[in-house]
């Protein structure tokens, strides 16, 4: 059983890279945020508004448990905060091979500004606060099995790099 788990800050490309790899390698793609949205029939922002962030983080842990109990090969894209809460980073490293998709805060912030409506944390914090959150999370993301610097790389390049050091 092979599970590849993509982690990184909001807008780092986790879902896009996972979709690309899923098609390229004919492997199941599981997106933790989409699984939670589907379960509640609400967007992430609506879940944050209605139930709060701590409730959402509990749901992430439930999804991780289901992934861990699955015997399927899959590539998993996580929400940016998934590794941060409770002992999720250790759980992720136990479940499969974790890959941190790294990019600069400034680059990611430009993307976030274009997609701010679907990002609850972006709506709740100013740029300086988001930068602090980014810096705190990077320390935890750095515990991944692998790190890919995504600067100036296409989805195809990143997928190829992952394929080179992970066998499917």
CA–CA distance, 146 with 63 (Å, rounded to integer): 22
* Residue (of 71, 75, 66) closest to 3 by Cα position: 75
pLDDT at 131 over 80: yes
Take residue 81 and report the two structure tokens written for it.
């905060």
CA–CA distance, 143 with 70 (Å, rounded to integer): 23
pLDDT digit string (tens) for 66-82? Answer: 999 999 999 999 999 99
Which residue ranges form the domains of the chain, and what is each CATH number? 3-159 (3.40.50.300)
State the pLDDT at residue 122: 73
CA–CA distance, 8 with 100 (Å, rounded to integer): 5
pLDDT digit string (tens) for 16-40? Answer: 999 999 998 899 999 999 999 999 9
Q: What global pTM score does this model have?
A: 0.93
State the pLDDT at residue 166: 77
pLDDT classification of 124: cutoffs 50, 70, 90: confident
State the pLDDT at residue 61: 92
State the pLDDT at residue 117: 65
Q: How far is CA 136 from CA 8, 31, 58, 82, in A?
A: 12, 23, 20, 13
Beta strands in 62-155 (DSSP E): 74-77, 97-102, 146-149
pLDDT at 168 over 70: no
Q: How far is CA 148 from CA 13, 36, 66, 102, 163, in A?
A: 12, 27, 27, 6, 12
Take residue 16 and report the two structure tokens written for it.
């896009």
* Residue (of 20, 38, 41, 40) closest to 29 by Cα position: 20
pLDDT at 119 over 90: no
Give, to the nearest 10 degrees, the angle between helix 105-114 and helix 127-141: 120
pLDDT at 1 over 70: no
* Residue (of 160, 21, 7) closest to 79 by Cα position: 7
State the pLDDT at residue 126: 87
């Amino acid at each position: 059983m092979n599970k590849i788990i993509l982690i990184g800050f909001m807008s780092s490309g986790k879902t896009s890279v996972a979709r690309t790899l899923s098609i390229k390698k004919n492997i199941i793609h599981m997106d933790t945020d989409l699984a939670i949205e589907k379960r509640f029939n609400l967007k992430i922002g609506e879940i944050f508004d209605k139930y709060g962030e701590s409730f959402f983080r509990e749901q992430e842990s439930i999804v991780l448990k289901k992934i861990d109990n699955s015997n399927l090969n899959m590539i998993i894209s996580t929400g940016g905060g998934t590794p941060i809460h409770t002992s999720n980073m250790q759980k992720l490293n136990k479940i499969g091979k974790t890959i941190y998709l790294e990019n600069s805060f400034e680059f990611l912030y430009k993307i976030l500004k274009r997609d701010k409506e679907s990002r609850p944390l972006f709506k709740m914090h100013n740029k300086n606060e988001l930068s602090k959150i980014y810096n705190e999370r990077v320390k935890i993301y750095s515990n991944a099995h692998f790190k890919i610097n995504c600067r100036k790389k296409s989805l195809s390049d990143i997928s190829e790099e992952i394929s080179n050091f992970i066998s499917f």
